[in-house]
Amino acid sequence: MNTWISRSLWSLGAVLSVAVALFSYRYVVFAGLLADNVMANLMARPWIAVHAGGASTALLVGAFQLLPAIRRRRAMHRWLGRLYAAGCVVGGVAALVLAPTTTAGPLASVGFALLGVIWLGTTVQAWRLARARRFDEHRRWMIRSFALTFAAVTLRLYLPIGPVLGMDFMQSYVLVSWLSWGPNLLAAELYLRRHRGIRPLLTNPVSSAG
Ligand code: HEM
């Protein structure tokens, strides 16, 4: 992909990630604009706070780990990586507690739970590969993990589309419990397939570590 296009896409993704992450921290203190349907989840207190705290932290730092400038600073890349993985694990475990009791019903429960399981799986796998110093595979699994973390952004982008097309809010919510992450994972797979054997864009061209 053209470097200019990939940089622009990264910038847009990073701005959206940081905005959604910062705005979502309000759930950690249960203050500000809180969605009624989410607060009606039986497990909302305290699990939404745990989920939003962990997941927002992962979303806040995740995009920056793709930058060569951060990756060249090994210690920073490692510490941000630990913070990212810890955020995913805390956010993912809490998501699995919240998913069965979403007020959007069983189809949304399965959509969120499946996302949670795959999110945890890809992140743990990426972390294990980094520990084993298998950095190329580590990078590929982290791309999958972040594509799923980014579901928090795509969910909020897609959510208003349903009502515009005449669906009610809850129907739209059920749909995005799947659509927010399925296409992201597919896009990550297509990207990885296209770049099989070559160092992906926005990664450190000099070193293979990290
Ligand atoms: C990627 C895996 C994720 C899963 C499986 C997941 C799952 C869930 C579930 C089940 C709920 C409760 C929904 C309900 O009760 O109807 C929820 C709400 C929420 N999640 Fe996540 N989530 C994920 C990622 C994220 C990320 C990365 C963020 C970071 C911003 C985030 C922030 C929130 C917030 C703020 C809420 C409250 C509802 C809202 O305002 O939309 N989630 N999530």
What's the pTM value of the predicted model, to 2 decimals? 0.94
Q: Is the CB of 98 under 6 A from ligand 1?
A: yes
Distance 171 CA to ligand 1 centre (A): 17
Q: Ligand 1 center to residue 99 CA distance, Å?
A: 9
Decide if 210 is inside a domain.
Answer: no
Please work out whether the CB of residue 153 comes within 6 Å of at least one atom of ligand 1: no
Is residue 200 in a domain? Answer: no
In-domain check, residue 173: yes
Note the pLDDT tens digit of each residue in 84-110: 999 999 999 999 999 999 999 999 999
CB atoms within 10 A of CB 197: 5
Instruction: Give the position, in ligand 1's atom list, of the atom nearest the Cα of 24.
Output: 35
For 159, the domain range is 3-194
CATH of the domain at 156: 1.20.120
- Helices 182-194 and 169-179 sit at what angle, rounded to 10 degrees? 20
Q: How many Å from the N-terminal Cα to the C-terminal Cα in the chain?
A: 22
Rounded Cα distance, 54 and 52, in Å: 6
Tens-place pLDDT, residues 21-43: 999 999 999 999 999 999 999 99
Question: Hey, what are 96's tokens?
Answer: 């699995």
CA 166–ligand 1 middle distance (angstroms): 24
Residue 92 lies in a domain: yes
> How many structural domains comprise the chain?
1
- Give the per-residue pLDDT at 208: 38
On whether residue 57 sits in a domain, the answer given is: yes
Q: Whose CA is nearest to atom 2 of ligand 1?
A: 116
Q: Nearest C-alpha to atom 36 of ligand 1 is from which residue?
A: 52
The CA distances from residue 110 to 38, 104, 117, 174, 185, in Å, are: 16, 11, 10, 10, 17
